[in-house]
Structure 1
Amino acid sequence: MKTIFHPAADRGHANFGWLDSYHSFSFGRWYNPEKVHFGALRVLNDDIVIGGAGFGTHPHDNMEIVSIPLSGALAHKDSTGTDGLINTGDVQIMSAGSGIQHSEFNASKTDPVNFLQVWVFPKLANIKPRYDQKTYNVEDRKNKWQVVVSPDEKDGALWINQDSLFNLADLQVGKSLEYQPRFNGNGVYFFVIEGEVEIAGQTLQKRDAVGVWDTNAMEVAAKTDARILAIEVPMLKEE
């Protein structure tokens, strides 16, 4: 088993007034050569946007982009014709493929929105751009993994153009969960949204993360009530 620990305090940080953003991996003006990606996971940004503000229309290509609101709601528009809201409890994915333009604004004029934006390198390049989102029942992740993004239609999750899965779990104190990678050779990046857990002998608190690979099973043990995001991705050759 191999691991890499990313404390919350070591994340990159940018505050533009309207946007307060923490970067788990090199992004924008913040660059750390030791934190460019974890396997196919390229970006994990923890963003807070003030009321009425947001990201104007901008392009992406050949990236799988997942947004997970933690509080508040986002107003989304893109060049596929999508125009709607992404609420807390929803998960959104865009396959940017050959090229997509989109905007993301706080749906509230007064209250901030906090969301995670995650980028994963795609399996196939230049596919037709696509958009999807789904509302999940948070009760279905109590003390178990809830698959919210997957390449396997049998999971009933949002489809991703990669051998990658996103899982959410709400663990009660004293409970533990095992994670077994679905795809041979994949690693898992565990991001603690709330609470305190132990993974692979490492204690993690709110917004800490640990990447684990070269193992067939990993255990997550809750030291307090906790919410965990587990992102399974292919590992790249240099990993």
Structure 2
Amino acid sequence: MITIRHSQDRGRFNFGWLDTRHSFSFGEYYDPQHMNFSALRVINEDVIQPGAGFPTHGHRDMEIITYVLDGAIEHKDSAGNTEILPAGEFQLMSAGDGILHSEYNPSSKDDLHLLQIWIQPHTPGGVPGYQQKAFDKQHGLTTIATESGDNGTLKIKQDAVLHHLMLKPEMDLDYETSRERSTYIHQITGNLLVDNVEITPGDAAKVTEQSRISLVNKSTETVTALVFDLP
């Protein structure tokens, strides 16, 4: 079964320094029909103005993945990590039993465009952790995060897998899963057919009770998306 969550139906707030869209209930946006999807709790699409950002604040018991689409983000946390995350790279901060961090757009002229993703861990507490990596994204699926951390993936504290999808025009892919698992596809660029249902940038497809999903790029540009395999 496929359920589409259209981009324009997401929660949206523009604070001047921040233009943000929420796929799930977050902050001032509350929708009891969209609280989470399996262990996936948050997907926020943020555009942050030059020199602006989120001052120091705390998190706990959450796996927080940041994927920069354009620009770069400056990250600082109470575990001593100070990093710049450029476009195309992935960051995973495991909040564990508690961590403080800040996130800023260090540019004086360019906007920062990113996706921030929260996944609920299977076990609360633990020592906070930080991982950051640039992946050689191939056409098809590139695996970004896994519970095991095998093959150079980011190691996440949940029985979940995050893939980056990239399809050239007219390229297709049969994605195999399990009827007992859930799949969430967040579209980034291009138009994608998910079992002949079209999604466009900012849209999402929630797939349950299926063992195979057909993914087809029928547009004239390269399609990119994030594909989550969830318990």
The TM-score bracket by the shorter chain reads over 0.9
1:45 and 1:202 mapped to 2: Cα distance? 23
Instruction: Calculate the aligned-residue CA RMSD, in Å.
Output: 1.2
Residue number in structure 2 paired with 1:63: 62
TM-score by length of 1: 0.92
Q: Is 1:168 paired with 2:167?
A: no
**Residues 114-158 of structure 1: per-residue CA shift (max 9 Å, x gap):** 000000110111011111100112xx322x100111112323111
2:179 and 2:145 mapped to 1: Cα distance? 18
TM-score by length of 2: 0.96
Shift of 1:109: 1.7
- Distance change (3 Å), C-alpha of 1:212 and 1:167: same
2:88 and 2:4 mapped to 1: Cα distance? 28
**Aligned-pair identity (%):** 35
2:3 and 2:14 mapped to 1: Cα distance? 26
1:212 maps to which of 204, 207, 213: 207
Shift of 1:184: 7.2
Residue number in structure 2 paired with 1:231: 228
The question of whether the paired residues in 1 share the 8 Å contact of 2:2 and 2:206 is answered with yes
1:145 and 1:88 mapped to 2: Cα distance? 19
Structure 1 gap ranges (5+): 235-239
Residue number in structure 1 paired with 2:76: 77
User: In the alignment, residue 196 of structure 1 is paired with which amino acid?
Assistant: N
Residue number in structure 2 paired with 1:152: 148
Shift of 1:95: 0.8
Q: How does 1:3-22 map to 2 (within 5 A)?
A: 3-22=2-21
User: In the alignment, residue 159 of structure 1 is paired with which amino acid?
Assistant: K
1:169 and 1:14 mapped to 2: Cα distance? 28
Number of aligned pairs?
229
Shift of 1:161: 0.3
2:187 and 2:66 mapped to 1: Cα distance? 16
User: In the alignment, residue 146 of structure 1 is paired with which amino acid?
Assistant: T
Q: How does 1:89-128 map to 2 (within 5 A)?
A: 89-128=88-127
1:77 and 1:186 mapped to 2: Cα distance? 35
